[in-house]
Structure 1
């Protein structure tokens, strides 16, 4: 712990900040006003709420010291230090019926869904220790267990933004340090675009996340639960990034972008080209072109089309997700335990 009210686990991976404590080391409010003329309270300048919601310095917000210690204990309890091959401890099934997974995911990928509802139906005792819930909240990261086996989970409650990409990068690195396998539950239309997001460094922070996915040293497992579009597919460990296992739910869709976005993009390009030639575009032909593009994209992004091209390891019933994950986690554990010893000398054969 520190005088500023931040608690760190022994691994120094996560920071728990206590509400009401401040960490304005370089300049307090009086010095800030004297130097820049800006007026701010201690809370606005370096408070726990600001650092866990805006700056991302803190990962967890605690009410007091006792609550901070509770959070630190939960983080440490979620990690797994047993040697590979050791029998899994006793575990409790999810508190929510797995059949309810059939009604959580909408067929329309434009509709938002709280993926923590999915997590609650596949992890032990529906117990999920979420990291930095107030920072980059559209990206959900946290620790859980599946049939006693520790796992880190990354999923999406919306597009990936700079804060969410930063949080996911940090979480991937922490999982690698503790040798915790990572599960990616894909449900994103991609990385956010727009002037404000580009100025905030979307490309820079998004590439850091993709680099972390590429460089991860622990087993990575991917499930396409909903949409997995564009670069979001890369950041969420799509097939091209070689996860150990990759499965799809029947409603999943995978594409460079949505059909409507592709059609609208081509319509804008066509109209711009016609304007340069000084010729108008017939609305009927434009609508026909858009309908054709949407049809092609929607057909190609269908899960049975992508799975037929071996872009996953199979389509699974959402209700079987927990059983499938338990099996593949055990396979990963055994595979890591059976890694051959590297030879430091050649063998002379007769």
Structure 2
């Protein structure tokens, strides 16, 4: 039998404590996400509404098919920075006329929708996801262009946004721009480089330089409408393919454009007769301990995520700190690698490398569930070849060509983060639970290493070591690393695609796998040299 049984005691004190800790983290997360939803604040939201305009998320909601899901991406971008949480941009994957699309909506309540450095980074990530997963892109445009005080951080790399649009078109993946308001300077190239352009009458303004700049540059007197109004672009310049009466009409036309794309997925369809997990996903709140040093069985997570709680484990008796096996999620086949007891030894590394190769042979996407403190250290393990075997696992991950999805459910430290397909290894999607932490090593370990090095340096100089200063240094370093390893900090840096409620994991994975299958699924033709 391959159906997973559960030993979770949902009435026990330990489970209750874990659940309360997770709910507290979710409440904190909800408060931070509310800042992104609030946009520029009540004053600017009200000003926007008085102009008869819809908010960014209202535009997205009208664009989507009724009752369909929207997988919002990077909602906490710019968290912890001087910029508005969310980076004045809404990005995500939604279904429009039955077609999964990447949707990017500028938020005009935040500095008129101007792009700051975090807006640009969020745009790049959305473009990468669209390109990797063959998703048509719909831009809902109302932006004053670059935030001029930060132009030095935007201008040079910012050209990527327009490059990505043209590359998408060249790859046969459509791009659509619905222009609701200003789209000036560099922002004019969003519609300028899109395959399909809709502009709202008397609202859309698209020009490389507005009247003040034209006056300064050429001495010419002009007005918004003759210089870049929607009617001018529809009747004279030809930049607008469709002239919409209002915002709702623009969205209706946008949906009609998508309906005519004749879009087809290239990946295999999911099996239609899949079953829901046998175990309650509500239990996911209490499975991960508040103290990540306490181990937990990842099979309990798998049992609440995969179809029918059916998991065919691979090499269950070998390298038991890493659980590997085959399953389905919403009818899509997946290979799963999940950390069981944190540390990765040589056996786990070799097991992972073989399993990844097998997944590539059968064109099966891989799901990585992180809870690792990294590869084992020590004389015995170094002599046993842990570097070679860890490199073997990282080699396999690096050269695997099937789609990868990573979910950080616990710790993700050191090179174990790499071996489990961290951000630098280009997983198609990477999400985190509120319980996740990621850094080069744990805070106490890192502070301890610095203390040992400082002690050795003092001894080599023949100096007495100051224990009081050492204690203060360790406390400061531990606090810094703890803060920088928390999921909201990492999400703000765009090191993940969003922090998710554990109970939503199955849904998020299903949406991600469905998006992935817009393109063909095929494994690697070969791997690099495995050091044996």
- Fold shared per TM-score above 0.5: yes
CA deviation profile, 1:246-281 (whole Å, cap 9, x unmatched): 101011001011110011101111111111122221
Matched, 1:300 2:479: no
Deviation at 1:222, TM superposition (A): 0.4
Q: 2:343 aligns with which of 153, 159, 167?
A: 159
Determine the C-alpha separation between the residues in 1 that align with 2:316 and 2:381: 20
Give the corresponding residue for 1:195: 379
Q: 2:502 aligns with which of 308, 315, 318?
A: 318
Deviation at 1:282, TM superposition (A): 2.0
Give the corresponding residue for 1:249: 433
Determine the C-alpha separation between the residues in 2 that align with 1:283 and 1:87: 61
Give the corresponding residue for 2:312: 129
SS at match of 2:343: coil
Deviation at 1:85, TM superposition (A): 4.1
Unaligned runs of 5+ in 2: 1-265, 522-532
Q: Is the 8 A contact 2:270 2:332 kept in 1?
A: no
Whose RCO is larger (CA < 8 A, sep 6+)?
A: 2
Deviation at 1:87, TM superposition (A): 4.8
Give the corresponding residue for 1:142: 325
Please, what TM-score do these two structures have when normalized by structure 1?
Answer: 0.71
CA deviation profile, 1:194-233 (whole Å, cap 9, x unmatched): 1111111100011011011010110000011100001001
Unaligned runs of 5+ in 1: 1-82, 338-350
Matched, 1:217 2:377: no
Determine the C-alpha separation between the residues in 1 that align with 2:446 and 2:466: 19
What count of residue pairs does the alignment treat as equivalent? Answer: 255
Determine the C-alpha separation between the residues in 2 that align with 1:107 and 1:177: 38
Give the corresponding residue for 2:466: 282
Deviation at 1:148, TM superposition (A): 1.4
Give the corresponding residue for 1:50: none
Give the corresponding residue for 1:261: 445
Give the corresponding residue for 1:73: none
Q: 1:116 aligns with which of 273, 284, 299?
A: 299
Determine the C-alpha separation between the residues in 1 that align with 2:378 and 2:463: 30
Q: Which has the larger radius of gyration?
A: 2
User: RMSD value over aligned CA atoms?
Assistant: 1.1
Determine the C-alpha separation between the residues in 2 that align with 1:292 and 1:246: 30
Deviation at 1:335, TM superposition (A): 2.2
Determine the C-alpha separation between the residues in 2 that align with 1:147 and 1:104: 22
Determine the C-alpha separation between the residues in 1 that align with 2:307 and 2:314: 18
Deviation at 1:336, TM superposition (A): 2.2
Question: After alignment, is 140-149 or 172-181 more displaced?
Answer: 140-149
Give the corresponding residue for 1:63: none
Determine the C-alpha separation between the residues in 2 that align with 1:204 and 1:335: 34
Matched, 1:240 2:390: no
Give the corresponding residue for 2:412: 228
Instruction: Trace 1:172-211 onto structure 2 (pairs within 5 A).
Output: 172-211=356-395
Please, what TM-score do these two structures have when normalized by structure 2?
Answer: 0.47
Determine the C-alpha separation between the residues in 2 that align with 1:326 and 1:215: 24
